[in-house]
Every structure is written in C-alpha cells, then in structure tokens.
C-alpha cells in the first residue's frame, strides 16, 4: 500500500476519471409509457436496489435526460432522507432514470479507479466521518449536496491494490449473498407449505379474534446502545440495541411508510419502533410461527391507505377475515416450520458476523493499516 494517496472526488472529476451527477427532475407532463422507469430513493437499500418501477418518463425525453440514465457499474448514493445508502448497478440491470434524491458516480478510466472500490469506500468510516462533519456544519441531518460530495477526500491505492481489496471484501459479501439465498429459499418453501395447509382450512375468524396489534415505541439512533437485539421498523431490521422492548420471539408489521403492511419475524427478543406494530396473540392456542405465515399470506399491503405517508389502519387490519385449519394441521405445520426458522436465524447471525468482519477490515485495508495478504488469510478461514 505504499502507493496510497489522498484525492478529492472533485480532483477525479477534473482529471476526467470520474463523473458525478444527481437525478433527473421530471415534470408531470414528461411521464408516460412506453418509457424509462424512475428509480426512487426508497428503492435503494444498503448494497442493493429493489426497484418497483411504478412511474416512467416517456421515451421521447431520453435525449434530455442524458447521463442521468443508469449504466452498469454506476455507484449510487442516497443524498436525502436516509443519507448514505449505497449500491452498484449490476451488469444485467435494465435502464432506468435516477430520481433527484440520488447521486451517481461513473468511472471513466478503469486504470485509475475501480467502481467497486468506490462502492466499498462509501460504505467505510472514512466516508461517514466526512459526511457527518458536512451534515453537522450545514445543519442538514437528512441531506448532503453535490458540492459537499465533490469535496470528499478518497484514499486511493494503486489499481492492482484496489482489485485485491475488492476481491477480499467481495468474497465476504458473496458469502452473505449465498446465505441470503438459502434463507430466502427456506422461507419460500415454508410459505408454500403454509398455503398448501391453509387450503383445507374451514374455520373463518376475524383477525382481531386471534391477535392484538400493539404499537411499537420510538427509539432514535442516537439513543441506541449497540448490542444483539434487533430493532424493527416498517421494513424489517433497521438497527441494533442492547435491550429489548419485548422479551420473546415475535411478528412485526409495518405500520406506516413505504413498507406499511409488510410482515417480519424475529426469532428472539426485539425492539419494534413506532413505525411498526407487533403481534400479541389473544390466546396461546395458535403458535406465533403459524401466525407469522398467516399474516404474510393475508395481503396486508393491499389495505394500506393511499396518502402522502402510507399507513396501515389497525382497525381495518383486525377486521379482515382469515381461515384457520384444524389444531392438528397447525401442529404439523409448526413442527416443520420451527426448526427451519431456527436454522434461518442461525444463518442470519452468521451473515451478521461476516458483515461485522467486512466492516472491520474495510477501513484498515483502505488506509493500509492491514496488509492484503493478512486480510486474505482471515477471510479464507471464514469463507
């Protein structure tokens, strides 16, 4: 890492090695199909995109949008709302238009800067330390502008060193991705098993006869003490804390926001925040594992109110009619589901440990504090 040097993103732009831009501000008159879908800020998650593509810019405006149309290898950063979520556009991604709350980074000389190295740099503490400083100076906790982004300083080793760093971190991410696919497959099989079992259900009940929906409790990031307890919001785990709000496994339902009506499972104690409900059974006759799949299958997202801030009305949700099979059918389903949910929890914990290792190695590799050769040995033991 003797070739390590510090450059600003502005320097890379001026020298023609990097292009930086924000998204396209569409006019309502430009929307229409056939056209290019718009990638919204909420569809950029940590390390990936999950586009829904509900809005389009008419194809006739392609020339006007220019470079704001995605390309494979683009690194994208959320600059408003939850600042700092970063992803990289895969090679097989369809074209789309970036929305204004996104910033894209496009490398133009792969001999100097690897796009995946830039992607990992945005995930590291070097970026976050500078971003926090900028946001505190501007008093804009939920926004970072292009001028401040261009002023960020990047640690830049040789291209060969970048490739080695990317290979190491990428191996850890690939292990996490494999684990994620296993978890997804197991869940899909259990969901299909539930549907097969529920087809013979004859008893019809209101959801409110089975469960209560309790409100979560606000827990700001600055009030959290990092620990083993997952913090659930409307879209699943949003962080970690030292103590739980509830002391047992449970089901969490998104209450408001873009993911209102989504259903999550916690295999152990957890903290649901105020954008979520958590489920409390009215009796112990129906296990939580069965209720989890019942609620997933209930289609709660179809009952989310259409407003500026989407929300799931508790009374409407509890008034839904659901079908319940016999006690024996439920027992047999839970006998299958319970150990597989435990397996998924173990795999998820392994992924969390690998992610912590990746996040520990990342700044040390980029600063030259740890040698690539030594990091490779650590990663070999894990992967």
pLDDT tens sequence across 58-86:
988 888 888 999 999 999 999 987 788 99
Asked if 314 and 254 count as a contact pair (C-beta separation under 8 A), the reply is no
Q: Which whole number is the average pLDDT over 344-366?
A: 93
The Cα 241–Cα 222 span in angstroms is 11
Q: Tell me the pTM.
A: 0.83
Q: Which stretch of 132-136, 260-264, 347-351 has the lowest confidence by average pLDDT?
A: 132-136
pLDDT digits (tens, 9 = 90+) for 116-170: 999 999 998 888 888 888 765 554 457 788 889 999 999 899 999 999 999 999 9
**Per-residue model confidence (pLDDT) at position 292:** 97
The Cα 73–Cα 269 span in angstroms is 39
Report phi then psi at 33, rounded to 5: -120, 150
Tell me the pLDDT band of 254, cut-offs 50, 70 and 90.
very high
Q: Which whole number is the average pLDDT over 357-369?
A: 91
HSE-CB at 96 with a 13 A cutoff on CA atoms is 27
Tell me the pLDDT band of 1, cut-offs 50, 70 and 90.
very low
**Per-residue model confidence (pLDDT) at position 134:** 73
> Which residues in 288-311 are b (16+ Cβ under 10 Å) and which e?
bbbbbbbbbebebeeebeeeeebb
Q: Which stretch of 7-16, 40-49, 118-127, 358-367 has the lowest confidence by average pLDDT?
A: 40-49
Asked if 143 and 79 count as a contact pair (C-beta separation under 8 A), the reply is yes
**Per-residue model confidence (pLDDT) at position 34:** 85
The answer to whether residue 304 scores a pLDDT higher than 80 is yes
The Cα 120–Cα 366 span in angstroms is 9
| Residues of the chain above pLDDT 70, percent | 97
Residue written as tokens 């229409």? 32
Q: Which whole number is the average pLDDT over 331-342?
A: 96
**Per-residue model confidence (pLDDT) at position 141:** 55
**Per-residue model confidence (pLDDT) at position 191:** 96
The Cα 43–Cα 48 span in angstroms is 9
Q: How much is the mean pLDDT over the chain?
A: 90
**If 0-12 CB within 10 Å is exposed, 13-18 middle and 19+ buried, where does residue 325 land?**
buried
Tell me the pLDDT band of 221, cut-offs 50, 70 and 90.
confident
Q: Which whole number is the average pLDDT over 179-204?
A: 93
**Per-residue model confidence (pLDDT) at position 50:** 84
Q: Which whole number is the average pLDDT over 265-279?
A: 95
The Cα 86–Cα 117 span in angstroms is 12
């Amino acid at each position: 890492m003797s070739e390590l040097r510090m450059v600003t993103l502005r320097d890379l732009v001026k020298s023609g090695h990097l292009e930086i831009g924000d998204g396209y501000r569409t006019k309502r008159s430009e929307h229409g199909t056939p056209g290019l879908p718009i990638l919204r800020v909420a569809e950029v998650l940590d390390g990936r995109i999950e586009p829904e593509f509900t809005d389009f810019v008419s194809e006739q405006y392609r020339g006007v949008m220019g470079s704001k149309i995605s390309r494979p290898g683009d690194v994208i950063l959320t600059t408003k709302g939850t600042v700092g979520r970063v992803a990289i556009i895969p090679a097989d991604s369809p074209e789309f238009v970036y929305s204004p709350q996104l910033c894209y980074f496009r490398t133009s000389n792969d001999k100097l800067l690897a796009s995946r190295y830039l992607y990992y740099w945005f995930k590291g503490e070097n970026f976050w330390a500078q971003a926090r400083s900028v946001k505190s100076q501007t008093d804009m906790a939920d926004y970072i502008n292009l001028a401040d982004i261009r002023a960020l300083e990047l640690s830049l080793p040789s291209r060969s060193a970048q490739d080695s760093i990317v290979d190491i971190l990428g191996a850890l991410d690939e292990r996490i991705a494999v684990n994620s696919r296993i978890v997804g497959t197991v869940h899909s099989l259990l969901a299909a098993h539930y549907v097969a079992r529920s087809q013979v259900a004859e008893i019809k009940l209101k959801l409110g006869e089975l469960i209560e929906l309790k409100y979560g409790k606000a827990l700001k990031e600055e009030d959290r003490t990092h620990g083993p307890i997952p913090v659930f919001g409307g879209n699943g785990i949003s962080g970690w804390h030292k103590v739980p709000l509830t002391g047992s496994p449970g089901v969490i339902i998104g209450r408001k926001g873009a993911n209102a009506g989504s259903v999550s499972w916690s295999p152990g104690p957890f903290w649901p925040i105020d954008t979520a409900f958590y489920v409390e059974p009215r009796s112990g006759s129906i296990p939580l594992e069965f209720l989890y799949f019942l609620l997933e299958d209930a289609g709660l997202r179809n009952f989310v109110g259409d407003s500026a801030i989407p929300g799931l009305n508790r009374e409407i949700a509890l008034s839904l009619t659901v079908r319940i099979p016999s006690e024996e059918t439920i027992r047999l389903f839970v006998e299958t589901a319970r150990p597989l949910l435990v397996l998924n929890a173990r795999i998820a914990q392994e992924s969390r440990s690998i992610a912590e290792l990746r996040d520990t190695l990342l700044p040390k590799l980029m600063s030259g504090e740890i040698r690539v050769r030594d990091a490779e040995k650590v990663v070999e033991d894990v992967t």
